[in-house]
């Protein structure tokens, strides 16, 4: 075999290996939580709240954390969307492509996106103390929203950047203004990407433990007030895995399985919905 062919083969093998690492680690993670958690998984976990002694191995479930995480995640995603959508449309339709302000804004968002979530947690905590809030659903929602705004904005930004410039020109050429073009053309065309961005952010918010540790607190009760602490799945997993009892630890894995399943389900649903929305996409 000649030299060039050997090189080609070596690199192809390396690429295949890396691909295998990616696919393999996903499969490995899923298999681990499934195998370790499957036996502990039962209906009670999904429909009951922790009874006294739950963390010692007594009966109960994690409905408090499932509901808490969903409510907190939806709230934070919604709040983040209210900020991200205007920013992203301003960035792409009102500012010119290479405007200094746009470049600065993107840089800020990237920096914000790189800040570890524990820092957001600490910031959220300071913020709470300043406003006299206690650890609560509201404080959790605000903190997680801050955490996911950069992720959401930047991923939507990438989507909007991909939309052909001519589509905008076509709308403007018909006498549409920027707002009409944003809402009727760009939003519609970008919808699948926007939905994906929202879900990535939702998943990120749902899975983050550090930001809710101080801000949302934890409770064995179901969420019932914006101003009371709320349980979340990542912390439920953390507390259960942290006990010395194997039985409770496998409940922790079962909780991880539930969290993963929720995120998976939402992704599939989103794909399906966004495909239906965009039957006229170009």
Task: Count other C-beta atoms under 10 Å from residue 265's C-beta.
Answer: 10
Characterise 232 by phi-psi region: left (phi > 0), alpha (psi -120 to 50), beta (else). Answer: beta
Check: CB of residue 173 under 8 Å from CB of residue 254: no
- With CB under 8 A as the contact rule, the residue among 21, 162, 174, 261 that binds another protein is 174
Continuous segment of H or E residues that includes residue 118: helix 117-131
Is residue 177 near another protein by the rule CB under 8 A? yes
**Eight-state DSSP code of residue 50:** P
Sole window of 150-158, 184-192, 204-212, 260-268 interacting with another protein (rule: CB under 8 A): 184-192
Is residue 90 near another protein by the rule CB under 8 A? no
Is residue 97 near another protein by the rule CB under 8 A? yes
Sole window of 32-40, 172-180, 199-207, 268-276 interacting with another protein (rule: CB under 8 A): 172-180
Helix axes 63-89, 187-207, angle to 10 degrees: 140
Is residue 169 near another protein by the rule CB under 8 A? yes
Is residue 173 near another protein by the rule CB under 8 A? yes
Check: CB of residue 157 under 8 Å from CB of residue 97: no
Cα–Cα separations (whole angstroms), residue 181 to 33, 81, 166, 173, 254: 46, 19, 12, 11, 47
Is residue 278 near another protein by the rule CB under 8 A? yes
Sole window of 39-47, 82-90, 94-102, 119-127 interacting with another protein (rule: CB under 8 A): 94-102
Is residue 96 near another protein by the rule CB under 8 A? yes
Residue with tokens 């969903």: 70
To another protein, the closest distance from the beta carbon of 197 in angstroms equals: 18
To another protein, the closest distance from the beta carbon of 103 in angstroms equals: 12
Number of residues located near another protein, criterion CB under 8 A? 28
Interface residue list for another protein (CB under 8 A)? 96-99, 164-177, 180, 184-185, 188-189, 278-282
């Amino acid at each position: 075999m000649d030299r060039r062919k050997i090189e080609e083969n070596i690199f192809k093998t390396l690429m295949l290996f890396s691909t295998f690492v990616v696919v393999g680690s996903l499969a490995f993670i899923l298999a681990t939580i499934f195998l370790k958690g499957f036996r502990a998984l039962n209906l009670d976990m999904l429909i009951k709240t922790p009874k006294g002694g739950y963390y010692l191995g007594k009966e109960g479930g994690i409905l408090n954390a499932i509901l808490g995480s969903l409510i907190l995640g939806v709230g934070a995603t919604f709040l983040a969307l209210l900020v991200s959508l205007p920013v992203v449309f301003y960035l792409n339709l009102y500012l010119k492509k290479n405007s200094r302000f746009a470049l600065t804004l993107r840089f800020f968002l990237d920096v914000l996106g790189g800040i570890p979530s524990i820092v957001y947690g600490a910031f959220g905590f300071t913020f709470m103390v300043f406003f006299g809030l206690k650890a609560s659903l509201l404080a959790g929602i605000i903190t997680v929203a801050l955490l996911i705004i950069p992720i959401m904005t930047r991923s939507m930004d990438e989507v909007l950047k991909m939309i052909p410039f001519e589509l905008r020109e076509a709308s403007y050429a018909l006498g549409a203004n920027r707002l009409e073009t944003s809402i009727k053309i760009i939003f519609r065309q970008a919808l699948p990407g926007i939905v994906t961005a929202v879900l990535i952010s939702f998943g990120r918010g749902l899975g983050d433990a550090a930001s809710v540790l101080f801000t949302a607190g934890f409770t064995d009760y179901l969420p019932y007030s914006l101003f009371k602490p709320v349980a979340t799945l990542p912390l439920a997993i953390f507390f259960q895995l942290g006990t010395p009892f194997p039985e409770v630890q496998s409940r922790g894995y079962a909780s991880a399985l539930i969290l993963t399943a929720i995120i998976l389900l939402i992704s599939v649903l989103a794909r399906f919905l966004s495909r239906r929305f965009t039957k006229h996409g170009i």
